[in-house]
Amino acid sequence: MRTAPDLDVTAIEAARRREAELTKPAGSLGRLEELAIWLCGVQGRCPPDPLDRITLVIFAGDHGVAEVGASAYPPAVTAQMVANFLAGGAAANVLASQAGVRLRVADVSVAGDHPWPDAVRRWHVANGSGRIDVTDAIPVETAVTAMAAGRAIADEEIDAGTDLLIAGDMGIGNTTPAAALIGVLTGRTAGEVTGRGTGVDDQAFARKRAMVTAAIRRGTPWRDDPVRLVAAIGGADLAAMAGFLAEAADRRTPVVLDGVVTGAAALLAERLTPGARRWWVAGHRSTEPGHAIALAELGLPPILDVGLRLGEGTGALLAVPILRAAAATLTHMATFASAGVSGRYPPPGASRDDSAPATGADHPPGASATRSNAVAEP
Ligand SMILES: Cc1cc2ncn([C@H]3O[C@H](COP(=O)(O)O)[C@@H](O)[C@H]3O)c2cc1C
Ligand SMILES: O=C(O)c1cccnc1
């Protein structure tokens, strides 16, 4: 099995050294420091380039479980929301515009014929996905085609020159296959991974949990075969997302993950290409219980936790300003030496000269120390 490429260790080391030289207490920028170091690792340079060219790809597809009460909304909403994305009226449009992110919609498996531009329909590989509690979502051949479609979409964006990709989802009923995939891939029960999605009532929630239980049972034999697993209990859109995420890692392109649906696709992609997760960050943690479980399995702590349960890439879009802030601080802050700010006291036992004034002569870690109050290694 092919593993994902490593991040650039030299750039990571340079970023760590630079973080320690900046005019702030060591570690005080918290998660921003980790994100800045990660950005250097994925870009292979320190300081990192600003994130000017970011694209969100929303993978749209229908799901048979929505026909039998898995969602609080009717299946027709999937296509109607694709039209809404194209008209600019969805939450993802507004947040993408705020964050300066390009939005692209890919109809991978929306049911029916639609008069959408070729760019939207080009990677259409299925007319919806089957009821996963009783039958396969898609044939295995369609899963293979859908994964290749997701890889092709990633290639198109990477070849066009992108600094960062975001994966988002649109598909009524899609939190049911997402929960089932997370259940199989983390060994959890339907009770642990199933949430209310768009907000189903108690009766529908019980029905949904029963569907997830049945789907987990149907999918468990394919636990170690991501292609057969996504064919059995996922769907074409989830397969395309998994291909997209794996390809981004293969091509050394960072990705911000969104909610429970991209989380399920990420678990699949990590099985396709072990180590791919190093190329991703989790934009947020949604309120769907399966999402926290997926992120824990991936070892990806979310940047934000603000009660979102929408999908479309919205949680990832909200994290973009934080990623940009991380890059900007590492790039533009002064160092102790350049700003003439005194560094940290040396550790107990080390000799120290308290009378030394705060001048530009203090020393960042890694520089040769000629004064006793040089900055300590963090
Ligand atoms: C108007 C509307 C816009 C949405 N945008 C994202 N979703 C989100 O909700 C759906 C998943 O939840 P469930 O599994 O309960 O159907 C997906 O379409 C997901 O993208 C939406 C849902 C609705 C109704
Ligand atoms: O976690 C998500 O992204 C989510 C939650 C509910 C509905 N749709 C998406």
Q: What averages of pLDDT result for each successive group of 10 residues across the chain (378 residues)?
A: 94 98 98 98 98 98 98 98 98 99 98 97 98 98 98 98 98 99 99 98 98 98 98 99 98 99 99 98 98 98 98 99 98 98 92 48 37 33
Token pair for residue 70? 């898995």
Task: Note whether residue 150 is domain-resident.
Answer: yes
Task: Note whether residue 373 is domain-resident.
Answer: no
Q: Give yes or no for residue 81 CB within 6 A of ligand 1.
A: yes
Domain, as residue range, for 339: 9-49+334-355
Nearest to residue 273, comparing CAs of 253, 293, 290?
A: 253
Task: Note whether residue 360 is domain-resident.
Answer: no
CATH of residue 346's domain is 1.10.1610.10
Q: Whose CA is nearest to atom 5 of ligand 2?
A: 309
Residues 36 and 122 in one domain: no
Task: Note whether residue 369 is domain-resident.
Answer: no
Residues 212 and 349 in one domain: no
Question: Strands of 280-284's sheet, edge to edge?
Answer: 102-109, 54-61, 164-170, 255-257, 280-284, 302-304
Residues 349 and 272 in one domain: no
Residue 374: per-residue pLDDT: 33
Atom of ligand 1 minimally distant from the CA of 199: 15
Task: Note whether residue 329 is domain-resident.
Answer: no
Residues 89 and 177 in one domain: yes
Residues 351 and 349: their CA atoms lie apart, in Å, by 6
Q: What is the DSSP letter of 168?
A: E
| Tally of domains in the chain | 2
The active-site residue, picked from 19, 21, 247, 312, is 312
Q: Give yes or no for residue 329 CB within 6 A of ligand 1.
A: no
Nearest to residue 212, comparing CAs of 295, 288, 266, 131?
A: 131
Backbone angles phi, psi at 200, to 5 degrees: -70, 150
Instruction: Please state the separation of Cα 259 from the chain's center in Å.
Output: 8
Q: Give yes or no for residue 169 CB within 6 A of ligand 1.
A: yes
Residues 26 and 160 in one domain: no
Task: Note whether residue 2 is domain-resident.
Answer: no
Nearest to residue 326, comparing CAs of 43, 8, 97?
A: 43
Residue 353: per-residue pLDDT: 54
Residues 210 and 82 in one domain: yes
Residues 14 and 62 in one domain: no
Question: How many angstroms separate the alpha carbon of residue 170 from the centre of ligand 1?
Answer: 6
CATH of residue 127's domain is 3.40.50.10210
Q: Give yes or no for residue 288 CB within 6 A of ligand 2.
A: yes
Ligand 1 pocket: which of 73, 132, 207 to mutate (most atoms <8 Å of CB)?
73
Q: What is the DSSP letter of 347?
A: P
Residues 300 and 275: their CA atoms lie apart, in Å, by 12
Residues 143 and 283 in one domain: yes
Residues 239 and 180 in one domain: yes
Task: Note whether residue 298 is domain-resident.
Answer: yes
Residues 20 and 61 in one domain: no
Q: Give yes or no for residue 172 CB within 6 A of ligand 1.
A: yes
ipTM value greater than 0.95: yes
Residues 196 and 280 in one domain: yes
Residue 350: per-residue pLDDT: 84
Q: Tell me the CA distances in angstroms from 15 to 45, 210, 279, 289, 375, one per residue in order.
A: 9, 49, 17, 35, 17
**What contacts 155, CB < 8 A, 6 or more positions away?**
247, 251
Residue 352: per-residue pLDDT: 56
Residues 39 and 68 in one domain: no
Task: Note whether residue 193 is domain-resident.
Answer: yes
